[in-house]
Amino acid sequence: MDVTRIFERLNEAQRRAVGAPPGALLVLAGAGSGKTRVLTHRIAWLVEAQNVLPPRILAVTFTNKASREMRGRIGKLLQASDDGMRNLWIGTFHGLCHRLLRMHFEEAGLPKNFEILDSDDQFRLVRRVLREQQLDEAYWPPKQMQWMINQHKEEARRARDLPAGEGQQQILHRVYRAYEETCQRLGMVDFAELLLRVFELFRNNQLLREQYQRRFEHVLVDEFQDTNTLQYRWLRLLCDAHKNIFAVGDDDQSIYGWRGARIENLLGFERDFPGAEVIRLEQNYRSSGNILNAANAVIGHNAGRLGKTLWTDAPAGTKVRLYAADNEFDEARFVVSGIAEWVQNGNRRDSAALLYRSNAQSRVFEEQLLSEGMPYRVYGGLRFFERAEIKDALAYLRLISNRDSDGAFERVVNHPARGIGAKTLETVRRRARDQQISMWKAAGESDGELSARAAGALQKFRQLIDEMAAAAAGMDLADTTEEMLARSGLLAHFKKDRGERGETRVENLEELVSAARNFAADDDEDAPDELSQFLANAALEAGEGQAEEWEDCVQLMSLHSAKGLEFDLVFLCGMEEGLFPHQRALAEGNQLEEERRLCYVGMTRAMKRLTLCHAAVRRLHGHERYARPSRFLSEIPDEHIEELRPSRISRIAQTNNAASHLELGRRVLHKKFGEGVVVDFEGRGEHARVRVDFAGGESKWLVCAYAELAPA
């Protein structure tokens, strides 16, 4: 056991964290401070220096990607065999809960073959429940109902825990209750349910709780600032006996408040775990000095931080560049030419990233990149297992695996078309509802209510699925998938769709076959069959946004997607008030700090060069908008900034002292014309003129020196 090997590549703070005595420990890990390194080394230290057995350790992450990466790094560190690593539980909250529920489905009150609903499946089920409850979707938007249900679940509230309520409340609760009942009846588990079930299981079952509290003697959590209420309660329950929790997070990088993440979990850690130690990792190994200091200055404007100041040994490097574009096209031209130059200087394209606040901004950049012939990759959008054709194929597989899967039945019973129309389905649906049976079973009953043709079509469909299932029994997963694609007519359906869209869909379906071929199922004796595992995996891990792209590409993504990544060259675009910080965040009032954290996250992605851009004019929602530069820009001290082109906006002020309050987008008041907005300017000194769009619809050029424009 060579403990020095574990410590030798760590700095002082990292060592303190890795070698801390058991107990509650909060590691505040700044951007680029070696967070994953500390987590992985902590586990190595527990195993090698403390002789903790790997099955005694539980490590929780948020994304599959993070858990894969951690598993890989620990494997290398421990030089453990695959078998040794299998005993080490590393996974996402949802993945771990799924595993626990598979093992304890009975105690959790679930059928053995329970199915996982992804967000889309859940949405469809909610919509179905609404229809069954005779509620008008226009008044009760399924999206909002879904949100409401998840909200309750994340606070560990069941429908039965809610007061009866009145009016709207009463109906909401009725929907929630009906949704719960339907899920239970059909053996469906949505994402939040995975966690809630295990939480309730541990809470209500003392034996099991104590068993797992003993088993997982050491609990480690990554991205702790992203935990929601339920996840945090889940963790506390699990650690209740020993309080050995090693939580790593960064309050400054909390950017998911809008989806339930509670930064309070991090801020209140010392209160919830009395005697907890807090260690700060403040040495940054990523960015050069100017970039880091600029980012520090921005985040310094947030109140209510736990407090941390990152520093670096690295040289100051180039200053943060600031470009004031005329409009979004100018911005795109500037950015793309900057990347072209970077590439000409011998750098890789994929070391350059283009970051923005909202995905819609990517379009202009894409057009420019396309016209310059520069390969790029846009992150975001639908992921592999979320694509319609893939979900269609999965629905067939789900039916093969479980005939009672109503969601799957509804999705493909008439897709491709086989003469089973809306009327027939309505009858089947009603029958299923009345008798509390699945649609599959309802479709199999012949009570003479349906026309012979409709009944025949349903029988044919049932026969098709049965045949596919029978064939599947003697085949492996990939062959089953291939057979299903052929027999169902799905592949043929998309093949006759000429054009690019159909082509991509066929490619995706073919890709699904290779995904099935490469799928490594768990072959424990108590593991579910291969197909069930594949389906669960598809729900829990939606896969990459695009088929793996090996070409060296410029990276385009939202600021949120960029978290956790790093690039030599970063362009942070669209830094305008209203866009970033976003209008909706400003309107909500308390969300400015999260926007600022997002800015901090974006800036700290850059290793060598960071360029910030804003445009004076931007077309947004069909209107030209004149926006002031983001307040975040003015929060960066001048000493770290190099202005590549003075802003047109500040030029108005520079060229005309008398009109220094004038800038594009500013509301002004004119004695005669009333209130308006400054939309353009020209000239300098006493000749400076501005164009003002007045509220009455008139647009006028006014000479600043005479017009006496007052701020509105």
Partner DNA sequence: AATCGGGGGCTTTTT
Partner DNA sequence: GCCCCCGATT
Residue 549 vs 686, nearer CB to DNA: 549
Binding span for DNA by CB under 7 A among 215-223, 244-252, 581-589, 643-651? 581-589
Residue 528 vs 602, nearer CB to DNA: 602
Parallel, antiparallel or unpaired: strands 57-61 and 89-92: parallel
For the bound state, the minimum distance from the C-beta of residue 593 to DNA, rounded and expressed in Å, comes to 12
* 3-state SS, residue 662: coil
Here the tokens at position 509 are 């379906």
Tell me the residue type at 64.
N
- Among 133, 414, 504, 650, interactor with DNA by CB under 7 A: 414
Give Cα 430 distance to the centre of its chain.
37
- Among 9, 65, 214, 430, interactor with DNA by CB under 7 A: 65
94 is an interface residue for DNA by CB under 7 A = yes
For the bound state, the minimum distance from the C-beta of residue 711 to DNA, rounded and expressed in Å, comes to 28
283 is an interface residue for DNA by CB under 7 A = no
The DSSP call for residue 280 is E
For the bound state, the minimum distance from the C-beta of residue 253 to DNA, rounded and expressed in Å, comes to 13
Rounded Cα distance between 286 and 302, Å, is 22
For the bound state, the minimum distance from the C-beta of residue 364 to DNA, rounded and expressed in Å, comes to 10
CA 539-540-544 angle, to 5 degrees, is 90
By the 10 Å C-beta count (0-12 exposed, 13-18 middle, 19+ buried), 37 is classed as: buried
Cis peptide before 416 (omega within 30 of 0): yes
**Whether residue 700 lies in the annotated active site:** no
Binding span for DNA by CB under 7 A among 11-19, 414-422, 448-456, 602-610? 414-422
Distances (CA, A) of 136 to 124, 139, 458, 701: 15, 6, 29, 52
Here the tokens at position 492 are 């043929």
**Whether residue 441 lies in the annotated active site:** no
119 is an interface residue for DNA by CB under 7 A = yes
The DSSP call for residue 128 is H
667 is an interface residue for DNA by CB under 7 A = no
258 is an interface residue for DNA by CB under 7 A = yes
- Among 133, 347, 561, 650, interactor with DNA by CB under 7 A: 561
Which 373-402 positions form the footprint of DNA (CB under 7 A)? 379-380, 383
95 is an interface residue for DNA by CB under 7 A = yes
533 is an interface residue for DNA by CB under 7 A = no
417 is an interface residue for DNA by CB under 7 A = yes
For the bound state, the minimum distance from the C-beta of residue 259 to DNA, rounded and expressed in Å, comes to 4
CA 46-51-53 angle, to 5 degrees, is 80
Rounded Cα distance between 665 and 583, Å, is 15
Q: Which of 121, 222, 250, 410 is catalytic?
A: 222
494 is an interface residue for DNA by CB under 7 A = no
For the bound state, the minimum distance from the C-beta of residue 349 to DNA, rounded and expressed in Å, comes to 21
**Whether residue 672 lies in the annotated active site:** no
What is the 3 state secondary structure string of 37-91?
HHHHHHHHHHHHCCCCCHHHEEEEECCHHHHHHHHHHHHHHHCCCHHHHHCCEEE
**Whether residue 280 lies in the annotated active site:** no
360 is an interface residue for DNA by CB under 7 A = yes
Category of 261 on φ-ψ map: left (φ > 0), alpha (ψ -120 to 50) or beta = beta
152 is an interface residue for DNA by CB under 7 A = no
- Among 480, 558, 647, 656, interactor with DNA by CB under 7 A: 558
Is residue 450 a contact partner of residue 427, using CB atoms and an 8 Å limit?
yes
**Whether residue 166 lies in the annotated active site:** no
Rounded Cα distance between 654 and 384, Å, is 52
113 is an interface residue for DNA by CB under 7 A = no
Active site (catalytic) residues: 35-36, 222-223, 253, 605
Binding site for DNA (CB under 7 A): 62-65, 92-95, 118-119, 191-192, 255, 258-259, 357-360, 363, 379-380, 383, 414, 416-417, 419, 421, 540-542, 557-558, 560-561, 582, 584-585, 588, 591, 595, 619, 621-622
